[in-house]
Amino acid sequence: MPESAPGQPHTVAERRPAASAALEAGEGLYLQGMAHSAEGDDAAAAELLDQAAALLPERADIAYNLGIIRRDLGQPEPAMALWRRVLALDPAHGDAWASLAAATEDAGDPAGALALYSEALATLPEERSLLYNAADLCFRTGLLQQAADYYERLVAIDPGFAAAWLNRGMVLKRLGRFEAAESCYRAAAAQGGGSDRALARFNLANLLLLQGRWAEGFTAYEARLDLPEAPKPDFGLPRWTATTAPGPLLLWSDQGYGDTIQFLRYVPALAARGQRVRLYLRDPLKRLAATAPGVEAALGLSEAPPEAASELPICSLPAALGLAEPGPWPGPYLTAPPPPELPLQPGKRYRIGLVWAGNPAHINDAHRSLSLADLAPLLARTDIEWCSLQTGPRAVDAAAASGLRDLSPML
């Protein structure tokens, strides 16, 4: 290092500008905070990012991630304020729009969330996630045509987006536009793979069956077995086909109670082919299912499966039998146990049982179940003895209805 000239002071490093020091300190605090967040310590991360944001208020990325951390800490209002700050800094920040709209919906304001999506899409008209989320919210809130329009824009932007094709098909089906819905489901099946393709085929099957296109519909309905949530038991047996030699057949329930009851109507067709049908199904159905013609035995899932030479899911019966139509109505094919003696109440002409709700955990429960209040016009009929046959969590609704006799404890 050269010496200083005689009589001159030694050279010292220049002081860094304050802005540069703030930038360096803020960046360091931000990186430390994100490291804490990655380790699951959001409280420490929030404190560090608060300091970083104070030093670097113009940094949209710091404000955005601090909002995510505040949300994860159960602080939605501070998070929303931060995302609004982000949008003031950067109106094209798609993630901030999406996060703010989602938080607004979570706060109980779906209309406000839709307004945010509309505002965001005016700035970012081709942002996939915004279009998808806006369409989904419209569908869930019953704005079907608006949902269809958003999905149409989305598939035009990204024709390979299988989920968008699938959801557009669901919307169009609800609108009664079956031909267009079918095209969407087929496009989704062609674009998707694995479980996405299975879901598209499953939705296509339901649409075809709705139109009475039985052979196509039941063939496509086999896709239900490829869905991730489908039961996949391994009985170590070959699958039954129409060419399988007569012998004991393990017919197992792969869907819910209602589906099992519906498809039991095809058991006599198996018996006519010399198959000895042994049912393996949910325990509460054992006694009823055992009364179906052609059933040799009915065992519950709490028991070991019956011995058999082949197996078949019960809802695969129409496809396996090659049915091009449901077939003629066979008449009653199940026999309930004798009912208890229940004299009709004085002044009543009829007794009618009501069930208004299904499994609340079902993904489509909102479109399958009623509230008891929806049945008020029926309950106003005083010449009928109305009886509740509702079970499960919604059985308690009966206590609030006047003139409704609760028979569910007798089931």
**pTM to 2 decimals?**
0.79
Are 60 and 89 contacting, i.e. CB atoms less than 8 angstroms apart? yes
pLDDT tens digits, one per residue of 260-279: 999 999 999 999 999 999 99
pLDDT tens digits, one per residue of 368-410: 899 998 999 999 999 999 999 999 999 999 988 888 999 998 8
pLDDT tens digits, one per residue of 126-181: 999 999 999 999 999 999 999 999 999 999 999 999 999 999 999 999 999 999 99
Which pair of tokens denotes residue 181?
Answer: 């819905």
Residue 8 in this model has a pLDDT that exceeds 50: no
User: Of how many residues is the chain composed?
Assistant: 411
Residue 331's pLDDT band, with cuts at 50, 70 and 90, is confident
Check residue 19 and give its pLDDT.
Answer: 60
Short-list 197, 168, 161, CA closest to 183? 168
Going from N- to C-terminal start, the domains of the chain cover 248-321, 350-410
Residues 6+ apart with CB under 8 A from 340: 410
